[in-house]
């Protein structure tokens, strides 16, 4: 179905150039879902393309608003890009959205209160609970959201959780998991984790999916349509490849991403284990939780 994004957004053309069929929505209709993406990842255009690729594969009309923080200036995006394509949170705080996606950020080793934009982010978390039908908190944002609302702590891992891992689904009858296989694969790339015992001890949270290797994956706040997702279902096929080879080139301590390259050989192509599931996940979210 058609997708409307800020005019001229380079990420849209990048998704089309990959061979994805994207119809441009000219004017929103009564059926159009208003979705906001609060993008706090450093490589803005890559993250934009990741989510546009998934949203464009759904059967819903979508108007996408790219959000930026008022109290943070990105280091890896040009001021021109941010000014042209992004809307400040202060400009939409009186608006309502059908869905909100809050991305992760590579700041997981920093204490939340030491993050310069933490106060504004907490304001956005509170605003979303009143003004957004359903919110997806992704990776670091899932940890941050659970900490802000429930006081659940993150914990440093002895080494990076890095690769594609199998996950089980606790409640396959939920609309979010319609069409899913019993075992799904999900990319993870993080230095911290949430402890399962902390999640199940919080009666206001329901654990929906997890992995014996990479831990908790999807959680839902009971009585709401808000989901906390620790993995990166949105990742493109070569994202982990880029991360691995970048760190190798910098002589940083990094292990081969697990279950990713064919025959676990970085000279081989990655195996696409997760993208079909990712399309289902986001399509089900839009269809069953955003309206």
Q: One of 48, 139, 167, 290 is an active-site residue; which one?
A: 139
Positive or negative, the CA dihedral 68, 56, 187, 98 is: positive
Q: Kindly list the distances between the CA atom of residue 161 and the CA atoms of 151, 181, 187, 213, 280, in Å, as whole numbers in the listed order.
A: 23, 23, 9, 9, 24
188 catalytically annotated:
no
Contact in structure between 49 and 15 (CB atoms under 8 Å) = yes
139 catalytically annotated:
yes
191 catalytically annotated:
no
Q: One of 61, 108, 232, 290 is an active-site residue; which one?
A: 232
**DSSP-assigned beta bridge partners for residue 135:** 100
Residues 6+ apart with CB under 8 A from 70: 88, 89, 90, 120
Q: Which residues are catalytic?
A: 139, 232, 234
């Amino acid at each position: 179905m058609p997708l409307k994004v800020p005019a001229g957004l380079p990420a849209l053309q990048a998704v089309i150039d990959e061979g994805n069929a994207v119809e441009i929505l000219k004017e929103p209709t009564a059926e159009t879902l208003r979705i906001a993406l609060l993008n706090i990842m450093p490589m803005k255009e890559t993250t934009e393309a990741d989510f546009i690729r998934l949203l464009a594969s759904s059967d819903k009309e979508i108007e996408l608003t790219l959000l930026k923080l008022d109290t943070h200036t990105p280091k890896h995006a040009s001021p021109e890009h941010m000014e042209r394509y992004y809307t400040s949170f202060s400009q939409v705080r009186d608006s309502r959205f059908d869905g909100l996606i809050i991305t992760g950020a590579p700041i997981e080793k920093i204490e939340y209160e030491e993050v310069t934009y933490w106060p504004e982010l907490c304001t956005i978390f509170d605003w979303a609970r009143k003004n957004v039908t359903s919110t997806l908190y992704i990776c670091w944002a899932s940890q941050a959201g659970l900490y802000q609302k429930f006081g659940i702590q993150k914990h440093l891992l002895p080494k990076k959780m890095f690769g594609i891992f199998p996950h089980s689904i606790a409640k396959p009858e939920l609309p979010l998991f319609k069409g899913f296989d019993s075992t799904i694969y999900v990319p993870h790339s993080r230095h911290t984790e949430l402890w399962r015992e902390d999640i199940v001890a919080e009666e206001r949270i329901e654990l929906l999916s997890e992995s014996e290797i990479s831990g908790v994956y999807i959680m839902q706040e009971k009585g709401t349509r808000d989901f906390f997702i620790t993995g990166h279902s949105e990742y493109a096929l070569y994202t982990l490849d880029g991360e691995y080879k970048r760190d190798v080139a910098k002589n940083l301590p990094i292990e081969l991403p697990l279950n990713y390259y064919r025959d676990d050989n970085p000279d081989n192509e990655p195996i696409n284990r997760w993208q079909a599931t990712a399309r289902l996940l986001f399509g089900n979210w839009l269809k069953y939780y955003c309206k």
